[in-house]
Structure 1
């Protein structure tokens, strides 16, 4: 007897419940699929992004293999790059052999160790299998036999159906680029996308029937399409015959097809609090269009399981290098043949590159260890006249070194936001900006207010805004745009000629004119807590307890809790460039892609408050009355240090300031000379200061500075560890004194904050170097700023997510940035590192899966220990250098 369950729900209620279930399942699929892409911030606040931040639960090698098979993206330096590094002496060949020996010991080999070692060694040092080896009729016959029954080496890879039809994937990409540009436009287009306020998918669904880029039949297929994105996405998957097991991978492949646009939608969704709705809309549109395009071709023929041309090189390598003859091959079982071919295939595509990368990294670490170990002996240090708090940015390292060599100066390194989780609002601005790392949520808002009457300043500002707004409106207006060239042409022509013929003079003249016209009045900062909240919902200012805790935490983290100098300079930093869409990438990444001066002013002001100093005494930190904190800004392009908001100074602080001002010019000259030596095309000027100044204002300059290119290591320890070491501007330097951190809390804070930001920066540069076509942004000379939020190549590319080629390479064929994963070095006893790995699962995962490398220095003995993960026993172990 059969039983039927009858629902007592009303039909409309049951429909709603079913729709919710569908939405929930689709959202779960999209959430899993979008781990493969990272959020992309707008170009105006370009933030170094870790492209694989949500894939760290997988080993680096597995992510590399997955992206290679699904998107043909290679995540390792090419052999051409490796050979150039080898020729320059940057890779020690003995380290390659050592890495191979260790790797073979960890593998389950398909043949005897000797044969496997012969094969791998040959594959390491050869570019390709010699072509004449592939012409053997006996070899081709064997390959044909094997191809009949062996599966493809990437048979499990799920790819969009459109990729199997000639150029259909390109057409689909162009359609998605068009719709994304329309929807995401940031008030740049004269005619906004209709129905945009209803959402991405609803707007597309209303407009698609009028799209002339689709044929009549294609529009007809989408005529009665579902009105909500979740149902449309599920419907598309069903029509395309994608089963549940492959759905997540199928959606992931579509997201990876245009990771830039998908990343921007992910960021927009997170900012708006909509979860992943924009990505659901994006995938619903993309798969709906895919079905409309591929429908006439369905069902497609079954793909070949094996390709003879891909088997031939693997067989030839085994026969000639591995010592397995054709007759021996025929005696192997099918499983043994498959194991041998898969072993050779993966080693050729992934493992050999990984071994070369590790050897390169090992060589760098070995030489860095030698450099630090051989630093000059530093005797009893004299009391510093001035202490500086610099950002950990690698560009600070040369400047700090020259500054310390010039006099009784002491420098400390910390994250450039100075531990302040704030949103900032400049004078009379309607815009607030999170001035802290992207991994930290702002907790307070700080705004500027004029000290005196600012009516004249506001009138000047309104005039400038009116003129600028009118000019933009006239450019977009159909009739006014015809008159505009006649009115503005002579003046803009003179401007163009001046900036092209005499860029340095014209650039500085315009900068000075702008400053003179603006004349921003002195301002106060809202440091103290206000009852009302800001428009962003955050409390304005800090309570006294919060002020004390923020200052205490930073000073404790860097180990500056006693022996304060009469003058302590808190240095934010920014870059100075012209005509550069990527200007914010050269500013402070810790401050959300803006200058660090605002945070420096806030922190210095907090340290000068009497109530804060009294609160610090209770925390065991005594700042003498004669010590004054002063905010400053380090301009990285020209290596200048500007003092901001100079407060009343004590007599000793005045003496220290006079001493500092007398040394800054020489420090600037030396720092500029060192930095310009690494820049190509530095011009005819013999004066490094003059040349650096020209590059900062020349609107044709594609490399005003190298930024953070070259970054390779992150050192957490006392300054005495690296003082007088020439680190080539490649090392993040974060001050830390383990003796003042018994609980390990300060080290935990550094690892969770600044060290994570450093890793993101490192992997941004790594990705832009090894895969510039996918994770970089191509040449600056052919870029187009689109929609006010991003950069494209031409007018129909993916939204470019990484750095321009000129930011990582000195020429078309010569890299400047060495693509190495970040080396983290911590000066602390062994049990500090063990505790950190035990208590911080995210950091443990990064080290375990190869997303960064970890070493430590024993403070008492100076022993350098490398931390590695034993996958067989599931635990970390150390190796001395």
Structure 2
């Protein structure tokens, strides 16, 4: 790109900068808005690496932990949740890979004691100066001095590591001069982001947002009083470049960052506020996201704003502190005075020995370089002595816990042996977390293999028609509901992703925007509209429906701006009611607001003529409204020909003046202005018509599509014969109050939405005679008296409600009460199982009615921080026939997906399960995993400190990075992990070679499996149901243990 300024940047140069930013941002996962909280793997952008390597890279990028503390793993071990045999095997593997064994040192005993007894986080922590000789001198009470040449060489290594040439310049200045540019930069950028990305929370709206983030910010920044008062020199900088790409390139050159380091430099800039960066990544790539369409922004804008602010703050620091102004100058400063640079680093990074802080600060303030040298050498000698004493103390304590000859072994080691010993321990501690994790996972793997049912080959197929069948989401909260439903009556249940294999974009009745109800990795093509049954239809049914939807859409857009005073009395009643008597209040509220009409879904694809007719009708209606508002002409004084003529003029198919304008003596100028308003405000214009025709083409499904989706889902779960009288499509949703994370409790397979629309769509499709006729041709014969019925499982109260009952055939009404009774009984049993884990008394386990009442109350209590555990404690995903797990209490910890490999000769159905539901499960599992192992960096900390940001996210306090993970209330209990962080253990019931082929056909899944992001068990029905576990890159036979087959899967740590 050379030295060209922005106005000379070629299109290729600009694309090069954009592509560099795109690649640099790939490690940052997208972050969806809170109202459709999408569980995601916080390290999604690193899934091309192995799990272990990704954690190491993420530590560099995000500064997050990848594993629990040693002491927490030790607690799990004492509770019997770690496989000791595996723990020992991994230790032996580590030792066998060492180049040599230290003579006279029981290395295995040292490491085993460190692993199982030592409470310290690190026995051999990172140091600047420590080596075997220094440690040897400390252990033997000798003086510790390092010769100056060795010290000088080591100082160069230290400075190269701590002042990296490709590190952000402002960060290096902060470390050397204590300027706090980074914190100030973050605060200014966050404030700018809050202003621009606000989605209706703030009363003040930033001007010019439709121009895009950088352009709008640039305009405001030049007149920003806060920036002016700080003395930030922004105007000249902003005038130097026009586009965000040019600004990024210009500042990188001014900072003298080598071009080969630009990508890494940009990554470090973006990961500083990776929550905001992740949200902007999502926003810029989301189709049909209203706020992004209205106010565009991408990471190039974000980076340009950040770099302008950073450059201005750096210039301010140069003026006040006489510090270097670019990367080259920083390196020159360090090389010119390495001793002074080291003292500055120690002081300003908080690493300095407390007794030396004042002396170092005083010498640096006087800026007398000869004093630097004398003080620095004395300080380095003391720091190295301190490091040696600390290390000796750690090792002596460990030796004391070991007993025996350990202390003698330590004292007998030579300096070279101590160097080798510390290196061995350091490497072991680096990989120790992964050892604990795999050993813990093996405990769970063996527990599952030992407990699943092994079908008897001689058992004949059951042809008895069950009273009812139910397809529930694979969500772990469906597991107890399925178990209890099967236990109380003649029910057969199936597990499937909660979108039921039908991805839709849904526009609900009275809603202003559509939502995607499918896994986040998919983009739905079909739009479903919800309309009231009883409509006063005008001209034709479809027009009436669309007109009604448009009316309510308008109302919903305006609703947030209704004056609070107008509803003050009702709001006060709600405030008191929610606090004093939540359940009674909500029962009253529901009765007062039970005005949502009975609705239907626009399910069938529109023909081109129908779409054109709808659009013409809507345009005519908009013209009538415009005439009333703009010219005050009532409808009864306008003919259809008048409306049609104005429409043709607005669409540029005819010329004015119109007959109406001539008749009412309206001037040509006024009519021209009116026509322009029709185009600009009422959207009656040619380009908009083309867009709307495309959108109308998205409504509904063709019959071919309906048959394809229904047949695939039925084959997917193995339900192709023996259909019962009722086939329930049970969606799920949660119900909480005052909870920004509410959508995290909804359906992950529906992109954090509620799955009821999908259930209604599926049932309506499956009940259509034409669809059933075509299914019969495919070999799926659904009896005439089988009725697919949508239902919704409230996971907070455990209640199951049947939907669209008014469509139920009369002959089924006789059995409806029995169905409801069975569902109610299963709901109460589920509540009795769940409530004791949520603070309810243990007796509730034996009192289903009382448990159900408590569940309902908690759902309506706005002070309740944990009305349900959600997906916490998930550990398994089981893909296979229900016979494998029927009757087993899996403690609401397993995703259960029905599958019969015998119906899938080519493996395509298995590929579908692996590439969609399994990936959703992996995201959910790793969201919980990382939110536990590092509640601050990957989790979102405590809800107590959260504030909603712009109606799309939460921050800690008034201003912070967006909190992207789960709160501590979701994953911890009494300060300890309630969710036990292990990777998802996926069990597939199918032949080994069959599964391997399916995995090999899917590039993404092959990477996930091969990189150990999930653990895999294959139970091979064609090999006597032997279990093969993928471990260390190979499938290994894992025998069942009869001794542990009756033990529960999990036990709480006392």
TM-score of the aligned structures, taking structure 1 as reference length:
0.88
Greater shift in the superposed pair: 685-694 or 139-148: 139-148
Deviation at 1:420, TM superposition (A): 1.1
The alpha-carbon distance between structure 1 residues 21 and 140, as it changes in their structure 2 partners (threshold 3 A), is farther
**3-state SS of 2:716 partner:** helix
* Separation in structure 2 between the aligned mates of residue 759 and residue 83 of structure 1, nearest angstrom: 26
Q: 1:75 aligns with which of 48, 61, 66?
A: 66
Q: What secondary structure does 2:728 align onto?
A: strand
Residue number among 546, 563, 567 corresponding to 2:722 in the alignment: 563
Following superposition, the deviation at residue 294 of structure 1 comes to: 2.6
Q: Aligned partners of 1:259 and 1:720: how far apart in 2?
A: 45
* CA deviation string 1:8-53 (max 9, x = no partner): xxx99x9877432332332232122111111111111111122121
Q: Is the 8 A contact 2:7 2:241 kept in 1?
A: no
Q: 2:965 aligns with which of 790, 793, 802?
A: 802
Other-structure match for 1:749:
912
Q: CA–CA distance in 2 between the matches of 1:243 and 1:443?
A: 45
- Residues 1:647 and 1:342: Cα distance change in structure 2 (over 3 Å): farther
Report the Cα offset of residue 509 of structure 1. 1.7
The correspondence for 1:227, drawn from 242, 259, 266, is: 242
- 2:986 aligned partner: 824
Residues 683 and 101 of structure 1: is their aligned pair in 2 closer, same or farther, counting only changes over 3 Å?
A: closer
- What is the aligned partner in structure 1 of residue 756 from structure 2? 597
Q: Does residue 412 of structure 1 match 2:489? A: no
Matched residues, number? 848
Q: Residues 657 and 26 from structure 1, CA distance in 2 versus in 1: closer, same or farther, beyond 3 angstroms?
A: same
Q: Which has the larger radius of gyration?
A: 2
Q: 1:345 aligns with which of 426, 444, 459?
A: 426
Deviates more, 1:801-810 or 1:697-706: 801-810
Q: 2:269 and 2:435 mapped to 1: Cα distance? A: 31
1:252 aligns to 2:280 (yes or no): no
Residue in 2 that maps onto 1:187? 200
- Name the SS for the 1:630 alignment partner: strand
The alpha-carbon distance between structure 1 residues 111 and 535, as it changes in their structure 2 partners (threshold 3 A), is: farther
> Is the Cα–Cα contact under 8 Å of residues 314 and 344 in structure 1 kept in the other structure?
no
- Report how far residue 826 of structure 1 moved: 0.5
Give SS of 2:222's match: helix
The 1:154/1:352 distance shift into structure 2, 3 A limit, reads farther
Shift of residue 828, structure 1, vs aligned partner: 0.5
Q: 795, 800, 807: which one pairs with 1:641? A: 800
Q: 2:269 aligns to what SS in structure 1?
A: helix
Deviations along 1:376-420, whole A, 9 cap, x unmatched? Answer: 999864431111100000000000000000111000001111111
Mapping 1:155-166, distance limit 5 Å: 159-164=167-172, 165=174, 166=178
- Of 339-348 and 849-858, more deviation after overlay is shown by 339-348
State the 1:149 CA deviation.
3.7
**What residue number does 2:10 align with?**
19
In structure 2, the residue matched to 1:442 is: 524
* 749-758 or 160-169: bigger deviation: 160-169
Q: Which runs of 5+ in 1 are unaligned?
A: 1-10, 476-483, 871-875
Q: Deviation string for 1:152-184 (max 9, x for gaps)? A: 596697543333413321111111111111111
Q: How far 1:263 moved relative to its partner?
A: 0.8
Contact 1:229 1:280 in 2 (8 A): yes
Could you tell me whether the CA contact under 8 Å between 1:451 and 1:524 is conserved in 2?
Answer: no
**Could you tell me how far 1:750 is from its partner in structure 2?**
0.4
Matched residues in 1 for 2:60 and 2:761: separation? 49
Match of 1:665 among 810, 814, 824: 824
Provide the C-alpha distance between the structure 1 equivalents of 2:1019 and 2:773, rounded to a whole number of angstroms: 36
Decide whether aligned partners of structure 1 residues 147 and 51 sit closer, same or farther in structure 2, where only a CA change above 3 A counts.
farther
Q: Distance in 2 between matches of 1:631 and 1:263?
A: 36
Deviation string, structure 1 residues 696-749 (Cα, Å, up to 9, x no partner)? 111111111111111111110000000001001010000000111111000000
The answer (yes or no) to whether the contact 2:468–2:728 under 8 Å persists in 1 is yes
Pair 1:576 & 2:576 matched? no
Structure 2 counterpart of 1:856, from 1018, 1023, 1035: 1018
1:525 is aligned, of 590, 595, 602, to: 602
Match of 1:178 among 180, 191, 197: 191
Distance apart, 1:316 and its partner CA: 7.8
How far apart in 2 are the matches of 1:607 and 1:137?
82
Corresponding residue of 1:781: 944
Structure 2 counterpart SS, 1:775:
coil
| 2:119 corresponds to which of 114, 127, 148 | 127
Superposition deviation, residue 447 in structure 1: 1.2
Cα deviations by residue, 1:523-552 (Å, 9 ceiling, x for unpaired): 243234443376647522222211111111
Per-residue Cα deviation, 1:741-796 (whole angstroms, up to 9, x for no partner):
11100000000111111111111111221122122222222211121111111211
CA contact (8 A) 2:123 2:395 kept: no
Match of 1:365 in 2: 445
Measured in 1, the distance between the counterparts of 2:263 and 2:153 equals 29
The answer as to whether partners of 1:454 and 1:521 remain within 8 angstroms in 2 is no
Q: Cα deviation per residue 1:436-472 (whole Å; 9 max; x = unaligned)?
A: 1110111211112332226999999989997995784
Question: In 1, Cα distance between the equivalents of 2:58 and 2:388?
Answer: 21
CA apart distance, 1:206: 2.3
Cα pair 1:566 1:656 within 8 Å, conserved: no
RMSD value, Cα: 3.8
Evaluate the alpha carbon distance shift between residue 264 and residue 113 of structure 1 in structure 2; reply closer, same or farther with a 3 A threshold: farther
Compared with structure 1, are the counterparts of its residues 820 and 414 closer, same or farther at alpha carbon in structure 2 (3 Å cutoff)? same
1:553 Cα deviation after fit: 0.8
Q: Equivalent residue for 2:953? A: 790
Q: 1:570 to 1:114 in 2, by over 3 A?
A: farther
Distance 1:227 1:731, change over 3 A: same
After superposing the two structures, state which structure 1 stretch, 742-751 or 538-547, moved more.
538-547
Q: Is the 8 A contact 1:606 1:612 kept in 2?
A: yes
1:675 aligns with 2:675: no
Deviations along 1:189-245, one digit per CA (max 9) or x if unpaired, are 222112222221122222223334442254466354422111211122222232233
Q: Is the 8 A contact 2:275 2:963 kept in 1?
A: yes
Bigger mean CA offset, 141-150 vs 633-642? 141-150
* CA contact 1:825–1:857 (8 Å) conserved in 2: yes
1:699 aligns with 2:690: no
User: Measured at CA, do residues 42 and 163 of structure 1 come closer, stay the same or move farther in structure 2, by a change above 3 Å?
Assistant: same
- Tell me the secondary structure at the aligned position of residue 469 of structure 2: strand
- Look up the match of 1:141: 144
2:36·2:743 contact (CA, 8 Å) conserved in 1?
yes
Please give the secondary structure, in 2, of the residue aligned with 1:387: strand
For the residue of structure 1 that corresponds to 2:838, the secondary structure is coil
1:327-350 CA distance string (max 9 Å, x none)? 966558xxx96x8766543432x3
More displaced, 251-260 or 380-389?
Answer: 380-389
Q: 2:1035 aligns with which of 874, 877, 881?
A: 877
TM-score, with normalisation over the residues of structure 2?
0.74
Q: Quick one: structure 1 residues 788 and 856, their matched pair in 2 at CA, closer, same or farther if it must change by over 3 Å? A: same
Q: CA deviation at 1:142?
A: 7.6
Q: Following the alignment from structure 1 to structure 2, what is the Cα–Cα distance between the partners of residues 765 and 659? A: 39
Shift of 1:877: 3.4
Given the alignment of the two structures, is residue 201 of structure 1 paired with residue 359 of structure 2, yes or no? no
The answer as to whether partners of 1:41 and 1:264 remain within 8 angstroms in 2 is yes
